[in-house]
Amino acid sequence: MHHRIYSYSEGLKRDHEIDCKYLEKVKETFKEDVGVAFIDFMDILSYFSYSFSETIAKKIGNNVFKVPIKEVLRDFLGQMNNAITEDTANILLNYLMVSSQNLKTENGKSDFYLPIGKRRTRDTRFELMPLVKINDDVIFSPITLDHLKKDWINGITDFILPYEIHLTKTINTGLEKFI
């Protein structure tokens, strides 16, 4: 990376072929780490950002919506034309749901205080898991999910993921070879 940036007077030169190989490798390792395809992950972020059905969503605040989990699951699968399974959709929903019990956890260890300054070592953060489950409802903000989608896309293209916890294969085999 250092050579690619500083060896040319124009700055960073992107190599389309290398970038394509990198992206394919990251997509493979993301699926191994998370259990779902990266494109499906992007699809659910897009769904919550701008294509959820407002007929099933109840607006509870400025840009904050509440939807029954079963309804949002049915709506998402319908919009996907059943291109993914219900199990995959459930994995995606659970992956994006923040766990209030783990908010004060860093590297698997609970703390008395919320370790706000330790962003890289905490995966249970609202900006990474912007779905909140209360009873049988999901509460979300489309702007937050759109921001997360942009963080992932920009992070992958800039070799900086939003977080690295539980993404060991993506970090080790996806990123290090291409930086």
In a domain, 95, yes or no: yes
Are 178 and 18 a contacting pair, CB within 8 Å? yes
Q: Which residues pair with 67 in a beta bridge?
A: 138
* pLDDT tens, position by position, 138-153: 999 999 999 989 988 8
Question: What's the pLDDT at 149?
Answer: 93
Mean residue pLDDT of the chain comes to 80
In a domain, 108, yes or no: no
Question: What's the pLDDT at 43?
Answer: 95
125 DSSP assignment:
-
* Whole-number Å distance between alpha carbons of 56 and 161: 33
In a domain, 111, yes or no: no
Q: Checking phi first, is residue 108 left (phi over 0); if not, alpha (psi -120 to 50) or beta?
A: left
In a domain, 80, yes or no: yes
* Whole-number Å distance between alpha carbons of 151 and 142: 14
In a domain, 83, yes or no: yes
Count of domains in the chain? 1
Percent of the chain residues past pLDDT 90, beyond the cut:
37
Which residue's entry shows tokens 């996806």?
174
| pLDDT above 80: residue 119 | no
pLDDT classification of 37: cutoffs 50, 70, 90: very high
In a domain, 2, yes or no: no
Which residues constitute the domain of residue 77?
A: 13-101+117-175
